[in-house]
Structures are given as C-alpha cells and as structure tokens.
Structure 1
Amino acid sequence: MSQFDSIRPFYDVEANAAIRKIVDDPMLEAMMSFTFPNDTKEHWKDLMVHTHSLRDFQVNFIYPGVQKVIEKSSDGLSTGGFEQLQPNTAYLFISNHRDIILDTSLLNSCLYENSLILTTSAIGDNLIQKPFLHTLSRLNRNFAIKRGLQGRALLESSQLASAYIKKSLLTENRSVWTAQREGRTKDGNDATHRGVLKMLTLSEEGANPFGYFEKIKVVPISISYEYDPTDVLKMPEWLAKSRDEKYIKSENEDFMNLLRGIMGTKKRIHLQVNGLLDKEIQEISKMEISQPDKLSKLAETIDQKIWAGYKLWPSNYIAHDLLYGDNEYVEFYSEEEKSSFEKRMHEKVNMKNDFLVKSFLAMYANPVNNQKAALQTSSPSSLS
C-alpha cells in the first residue's frame, strides 16, 4: 500500500475498474445525458468502458461536460496569461475560490486547450462522501483534503497532503491546484490563508521550510464570475454571523452548492494566469525575518497578484456604487446592466433586511476595492 492511498486519485491501471463501477449509476447517466444530449446511452457507455487512463476520462468526458456547462449556464469564458506557461512543466496553481467544482475544472479545460500539463486538484473530503462522487473525483484526478480534524490528526493529515503535493510537483512533474484558503470565499474578499502556505512546507526538511517555494513554480490564478451562481445560498451563513451564532450546515448543503455552482447563472467568466512568483519568492527568501513572517509576505504577494488579475464586471461596479451610494464607477456599466442587476438582487434578497442587502452588495463590491488597493501597491514596494 502507498502512504497516499487514503487521499490520492486513481492510478491509470485502476481507472477502468473504477469506471465500470459507476457506469450504470443514475447520476452518471444524468451527467452524460447533459454532456452528450444527441448521443445514445449505449454509445457513450461503450466508449467509457473502453477508457483506461485518467487523462482519457478527463479529455473525453469531463472536458466536454465543462464545455456544455459553459454553453448552458454562462455567456462564455475568456482567459489571459496562459502564454506565460511552458509545456511539460509542473506548476503549483494557487487560486481564489468561488465555486466548488468549476474553479479547477475551468482551469484544467484551459490547460488542455493550451497543451499544458493538467492538475491534480485538492478537494475537501466533506464534498465527496457519496460513493459515486468519491469515485468520480478520483477519476478526475482530485486528491482529498480531510476536514473537521483537530490536534494531532490535523497535523498528520496536513503532513500527508504536503508530501503528496511535493511528490506530484517534483517527482511526477504533475501540476497541482489548491485554493488560497479552506472553503470558498463568501464575501468577495479573496485572501490567502497563511495556514495553507504552511501546510505546503510541512514536507520540506531542514531549518528553512520556506526554501520549498524556491524549488517549485508558484502561479497565482484569478477567476471571476460576473454573477456568482451561489450568492443566495450564502445568506443563511451571513445571518448567523451577524447574530454571533455558530453556523451549522444543513445535511445536503454542500451538494446543493455544488449543483447550483455548476448549473446556476454566471453570465461571463474570466480566468487569468498571473505569472510566476520566482523573483518575489527569491526576494522574500533573502529577508532576515522569521519563517511565519516569510509566509505572511508570500500570502500578501499572492493576494496582490490575484486582486490585480481579477476581471471586474459591470456587476462589481454596480454593486460598489449601490453599496456606497455614489456614481464613482458609472462609466463602467449601462443603465440596462444596472437594472438587470437590481432585478436579480430584489428577486434573491429580502430587501427589508439591511444587513443582507449590504452583505449581498459587498460580496460583489469587495473585488473593486481589493483591485484598487493592489494596483496602488506594486510588488517591489509591497515586499519592502
């Protein structure tokens, strides 16, 4: 047995047996009916049971599914910065996190279209409790991050994830995707948690754990949805926080967020590659500061890159002007776009609850403030 068996994706030699386990599952049949509406069930099943690698499964079934989601639930995907990436090169992609499945699926689709190495991607094990979803995630080259642990169990789990990521990047030449924080951003404030960066260094031996980042290629990714398909689903958690109450998820909440994220209205989507952090990491590494402070500096740098690369949509500018009661960004949207956004808000939000209204607007407006701050602070000065 491998030390990573409890978290790793399937190996290619295991792919076909795994596919045969789920090929008759009603959820898979629903997915394939959506992906290949003009194909017969017999045809795609025959293709699937003759699939023997994760890449073939991703390219022939997951990729067309993602393209169909883009077609049905958005007004298109735009990209930038992929020309900065090199073929046959493994990268650690650190991304803001808005959607459970699509963030990494869209990135992998773009990597495939640009003939670049696909990622192995982190996913919380709370999202793959159902046997079908667990099998599907492993076929889609996801590795599990165990949630809800404390103390020694949390440390051991973090060490295992760190070792798996290091092996993927430096031994297998496999790119890795991870979110900048645990869980999706709920308020539009995309911030890198130092704990995520610390986890990445746990497998590095010696007195300079930060040196790990000099051995790998770190690439911040910004993903921007014009409309967040799960915005309304975040409101119960906002309300709980406003009352200083502990928020407890409902039984199927994660699954409902997953489905709404995939099929909910997004309008336009943009995915931006924000370049390698080689120079910035070297500069931080030379600083005579503590290891925790170096991680904090790196987190700040990643934030600056993600904020600067975020594609601001009319929805962001409209929300900002409505939240602050001015017309600072009126040139960036039309009256028709404003009317459409307000209609959406009135349909989704209890307009009598001032806290919910402000929270909804802030979720869309915060990226405007963050990008303004990022563009006022160049990388060299932010590291001084």
Structure 2
Amino acid sequence: MEEAGQSREEISAQTPSSCPNRVRRKCSLSGTAGLTGREGQVARGSRDDSSPQEPYHLLKNMTSKSRWKLLAMLALVLVVMVLYSISREDRYIELFYFPIPEKKEPCFQGEAERKASKLFGNYSRDQPIFLRLKDYFWVKTPSAYELPYGTKGSEDLLLRVLAITSYSIPESIQSLKCRRCVVVGNGHRLRNSSLGDVINKYDVVIRLNNAPVTGYESDVGSKTTMRLFYPESAHFNPKVENNPDTLLVLVAFKAMDFHWIETILSDKKRVRKGFWKQPPLIWDVNPKQIRILNPFFMEIAADKLLSLPMQQPRKVKQKPTTGLLAITLALHLCDLVHIAGFGYPDTHNKKQTIHYYEQITLKSMAGSGHNVSQEALAIKRMLEIGAVKNLTYF
C-alpha cells in the first residue's frame, strides 16, 4: 500500500539514481513505461542533453523559411552543374541557341544577302545556282579552277550531263516574295529534338547526302525541297527518303562524278573505279529532278569561310563539307536562313556519335579532308552576325 501511495515525484526521483550515466536514457525510458497519458508522452519524448541530435531532428526543428532557403540553395547548385556540363560539350565554341518562336519570324526580302555580304564581300547573286547548258554549249564560259572549285578540264563531260538534266528552280519557290529556308544537318543534336513539324513549315528544306527521313519524321520532318549529294553519298533508292518533287543536287568533287551521273541517266556501262566508296550502280531517278550545283559556291565557301587555297597539292585537298556548302547555297538563294543539326562533338569525346541516324564517331572523319574545327568557327561567325539562326544548340 505504501508503494501504491508513492507520488509521481518520488518515482521520478528514484529512477535516475539507480542508473549509470551511460545507460541513463534507456533506464529513464523503462522507468516511465508504466506511466500513461500526458506524463508518459513527455517521458518518452525526453532525451539526455549530452546525446547527439539526428539529421531528421534538425530538419524537423527548422522553420518553414529555413527549409525553403535550403531547397533553393540545392536547386541553384543543380542548375549550375547542368549548365557547366552543357558548356563543356563543345570546348572550342560557345553555345548558340535560337529558341523556336511561337509565331513566324518576319521575313525581309534581301536580308540574308545583306548580312552574307559581311562574310563573302560584294559577291553577285547573278551567279546561277545550278549549271546551265547554254553556258557551256553556246558561250563556253571559261573556268579558272578544276573541280571542285570550277569546271576547267571537265567541260566536254559536263556538256553531255547538262544535255539530259535541268537547271530551273521550281516556280513554287521562284515566285515567293520572301523565301524562308532551313538547312537540316545530320548531327546527333537532332535526335529527340521534336523539330519535325517546325522544319516542315519552311518554304525550302535542304538536306544532305543520304540522311534518312523515314522513321525520324518527328525530329527531322518529312519535307525535302533539295538534297545535296555526291556519288558516294547517294542513297541507293532515292525515292525512299525524298518527296516526288525533291531536287537531287549533285555536288561534283571530281570529273568521275560527272561520268557516274551520265552512265546512270543514259544507262551506259557503269563506272566502278575512281571512287573512295562504291556508289550505286542502279539509281531509279527522274532526270528532270537532277541538278548540277554551280562550283562557285564551293569556291566562296572554301575561300571566304575557310581561307583555303584554290590550288592545293593532290594529296592534301582540303575542302568544305556538304553541310557548309548547303548553308552557303541557302544564303545565296533565300531571304531567311535557319539551320538545325549542325556541330560536331568535342574532339576529346571519342564515343559520341556524329549523326542522328547511325553510330559512327568523329574517328570516321579522319582522312576526309574536312577541318571540322575550322568549319565550327565559320558557322559561329555566321551566328554572331545574324546571317543564320540556329534551331538546335551549337
């Protein structure tokens, strides 16, 4: 009865004295196990001041304002890390990105020509985009350079090719007051870009080599106005990746390229030698769709953009890529020029693929005669002066 009559104060006073310091908390909790109600809750929540606090207790005791400050600091650190990783992707060039506008950008006639004059000087737009039969049959215009910068020495072969092809620009493009163009590169940056619908809205869509469309429409679109190619880069079935009215524009790097297109269109004996890669021997195409690009554009791309000499040793032969050539052509043809899918991975990134449709890396460019770092600087300059704008980051 005396134990039952003990007060709570007496029980509390007895408990600590019977416990060693190192197990006092455990004993304290066991000593209060019989208490119920508010007193038991207080006892269970009590702790010795000398025991360390756990991290969740710190968060629990933080004010709402302090927690928000901590979250804001973590978010800032995350943003800085993301921006740093992006900036490191291409060390030799800055980041240029043109966000897709909700509305069409205003198009002003002659705007691209005016801005391009800063790059190329006062070059004339009187130069035809495609080679014409009359310039070789009637006038026999002399050329100062051999292919790929001129037609010197290839006139007779070219004459036969021009007799079975055409040079006209479709009326649907010719009649436009202001031509909106996009040059679609083959870079890996188009992968998962969702630019397909945007690309399809341009008046002129220029594509390169054998870059596929089928299966990639959501990223690269489905419209193709022109496709620049050379024999080794020709798709074996041109009808698969192009529209029925697509112009197939031959970029001739050597005389054998003219010979190849002549044998294809005239169904003559095929040429098997003189190419670094075997081009198609059967090529189902309408001759009316074929155009021969004026080497003038190769000349000014090499001279004005890359500062390459026109006369080079045969074993060196540096030359612009088809992509840079296509941009040069667009600046001549169009009033507004946008680009997408340009830019190569950093030279130290040996595993990054260079195309959106295949797994080859920058290693495949070795021995190609293309200086991708120099071309990157040329495109950077175009972006800086506003001659072109970018739909993907560069």
Give your verdict on TM over 0.5. Answer: no
- TM-score, structure 1 as length reference: 0.28
Instruction: Give the number of the structure whose residues are more often helix, by fraction.
Output: 1
